[in-house]
Amino acid sequence: NAEPASTNSYHVQGYYTNDWTWTNTATYQKTFLGVHDVKVVLGTEAYSYKFHDQTGNRQDYFSFDPNFVSLSTGSGTQTVSSTRSANKLFSLFGRVNYSYKDKYLFSATLRRDGSSKFVNNQYGFFPAASIGWRISQENFMKNISWLTDLKLRAGYGIMGNQLNVNANNGYTTYVGDSQESYYAITGSNSNLAVGFQQNTYGNPNAKWEKDANGDVGFDATLFNGHLMLTGDYYVKDVKDLLYNPQLPGTAGLAAAPTINVGSMRDRGFDGSIEGTGTLVGELKYDATLTLTTYTNKIVKIAANQTYFDQDSRRFNGGAIIRNAVGHAMSSFYGYKIVGFWNSQAEIDAANAAAQKATGDPTAVYEADMGVGRFKYADTNGDGVITANDRQFLGSPNPKFTYGFNLGLTYKNWDFSAFLYGVQGNKIWNQVKWWTDFYNSFQGAKSTTALYNSWTPQNHNAVAPIQEPGSYFSTNQVPNSYYVENGSYLRLKNIQVGYTLPHSFLGQYGVSQLRFYVQAANILTATKYSGLDPEVGFNQGAGNTGSYTDFGVDEGSYATPRSVIVGVNLKF
């Protein structure tokens, strides 16, 4: 309704999928001499997937009455199409678990996975191993009365990934298209000769992506189970990363194949603290606090390629996402705003300095300079604003996330709450392009544009001057105006319940009757100005949404608040 199309259309789609998984395992377990426990598992697994769909589309209907519309009643162009795909997997795997007196622990796994998506490198070998030491079982630890259990552990393993590869990736394909590859060889206007054009480039040498994971951690139980601690430091290296690179224009219209390029590293700490016990009298508690830190860095992209850009939206001056070596995935990129041009004298002085720095009497500091518009930072110090002055403006990847679960019981009453928080991430608020600049579709403007934009009397404004034109110094290029703090703390769930005593219900054959009130997402603490800081993939038109392009908000629906009143009845 916001941007109505001039021609209506009707679309029909039907599809079906068929997939099955066949798993077989054999297990051997035995304890030798009462102290050596061995368990061996061998297995195979096969998977098959098939997909087929048919679609039809037609335009320009006289009426959209449901009793009238079909593919045969429209007067416009009718198109039909169908697609199909299939892929298969086959795996062999084995695992050995060994423990000595439940004190020294060892486990090893080996997988051989094969995928039909690969041609010359169908199979990959993926090993993993872990060790554990229940140190609390040692004699020198047994006199520590407050320590119930303590285990140290470490592990390393490699996992394979083939999910982001097309089933036809290994083959160069050709298609016939009446609009592009059919041609009237004889010069006739009515007789077209069927022709074919290249549709995709094939890569038969693609192979499994490898995710190498290393982990060192501990598990501790204290005070007879009333306090439990868990901590892990992890490092994950993604190698032979499967990706579709950008092709030069001379490659034509054919799509690029997925190839093994680049590598990426994640590292961080996972920890949790859980406590159970009695506070006073019959008031009991169960609480868990979790914390996860996260650092992501692109290590390598491809030969002679140190970055790739994505997601230009409606800007004329570049994309808003730059994935670059040494930076986090899906980092925001653009011009840094350092203020407004508050007077013509200030603009003239900046231009004079730019002419002196460059030796060019016609140089200007910044394109489309005007009173009340944004002033950008000269990051490279050459005296003028160019594309080289763009910089990284933040990352949607949080520095850490945390959660808190609390449960309380008192006699027949129960209470639970769950809080979840994200800290250190940025959000690209693309909604501002629509609401904070007058020329960006004049239909709806924000209170920021109406009451806190630049005017001769308001130099400490948030938004630039409201004017009918679109300029480099306002909304034509990606800049830091759209980048906001995405940290938040949300009360995800809270519940209060009361269970009637069994003595009161037993005579009626009722074993339990509980009344409860539950609320979800009722409170969020955040500085983000958008509807919801919990932004994921596919937020708004123009964003394809992927693991390399996320954290952009263009009007996503907010997480709904809900209140539920319920009854649990058991006989």
Q: How many CA atoms lie within 13 A of 30 on its CB side?
A: 3
Confidence of residue 537 (pLDDT cuts 50, 70, 90): low
> Looking at the predicted structure, is the pLDDT value of residue 507 above 70?
no
pLDDT at 385 over 60: yes
pLDDT for residue 182 is more than 60: yes
- By DSSP bridging, strand 426-429 and strand 9-32 are unpaired
Cα(20)–Cα(202) distance, rounded to whole angstroms?
A: 28
Question: pLDDT exceeding 70 applies to what percent of the chain?
Answer: 96
Neighbours of 531 (CB within 10 A): 15
> What CA–CA distance (Å, rounded) separates 175 from 81?
13
Mean pLDDT (the chain) is 92
Once rounded to an integer, what is the mean pLDDT over residues 325-331?
95
| pLDDT at position 98 over 90 | yes
Q: Which tens digits make up the pLDDT trace of 219-246? A: 999 999 999 999 999 999 999 998 887 7
Question: Sorting pLDDT into bands at 50, 70 and 90, what band is 545?
Answer: low
CA-to-CA separations, 178 to 188, 189, 196, 349, 541, in angstroms, rounded: 15, 13, 9, 59, 29
Read off the pLDDT band of 253 (50, 70, 90).
Answer: confident
Confidence band, pLDDT 50/70/90 cuts, at residue 70: very high
Contacts of 152 (CB under 8 A, 6+ apart): 132, 133, 135, 217, 218
Those residues with Cβ within 8 angstroms of residue 192's Cβ, 6 or more apart along the chain or in another chain? 178, 182, 183, 184
Q: Which of 138-142, 243-247, 504-508 has the lowest mean pLDDT?
A: 504-508
pLDDT band at 540 (very low <50, low <70, confident <90, very high): very low
Tens digit of each residue's pLDDT (9 = 90 or more) over 24-61: 999 999 999 999 999 999 999 999 999 999 999 998 88
pLDDT in tens, 438-485: 988 877 899 999 999 999 999 999 999 999 999 999 999 999 999 999
How many of the other CB atoms lie within 10 Å of CB of 332?
25
Question: At residue 509, does pLDDT exceed 80?
Answer: no
Could you give the CA distance from residue 401 to residue 322 in angstroms, rounded to a whole number? 24
Please enumerate in sequence order all residues whose Cβ is within 8 A of that of 273, keeping only pairs 6 or more positions apart, or say none.
Answer: 227, 228, 229, 288, 289
Q: What number is the average pLDDT over the span 12-18?
A: 95
Which range is least confidently modeled, 63-72, 192-201, 244-253, 386-395?
244-253
Pairwise pLDDT comparison (389 vs 508), residue with the higher score: 389
Question: Using one digit for the tens of pLDDT, what is the confidence trace for 340-379?
Answer: 999 999 999 999 999 999 999 999 999 999 999 999 999 9
The per-residue pLDDT for 171 is 94
Q: Between 17 and 440, name the one with better pLDDT.
A: 17
Helix (H, G, I), strand (E, B) or coil at 560: coil
Mean pLDDT of 382-396: 96
Give the three-state DSSP class for 387: helix
For 431-440, the pLDDT digits (tens) are 999 999 998 8
Q: Cβ distance 463 to 448 under 8 Å?
A: yes
The answer on pLDDT for 170 being more than 60 is yes
Angle CA(25)–CA(31)–CA(37) in degrees, nearest 5? 75
Query: Cβ(111)–Cβ(93) under 8 Å?
Result: yes
The answer to whether residue 277 scores a pLDDT higher than 70 is: yes
User: How far, in Å, CA of 372 to CA of 342, rounded?
Assistant: 6
The residues pairing with 50 across neighbouring beta strands, listed in sequence order, are: 18, 86
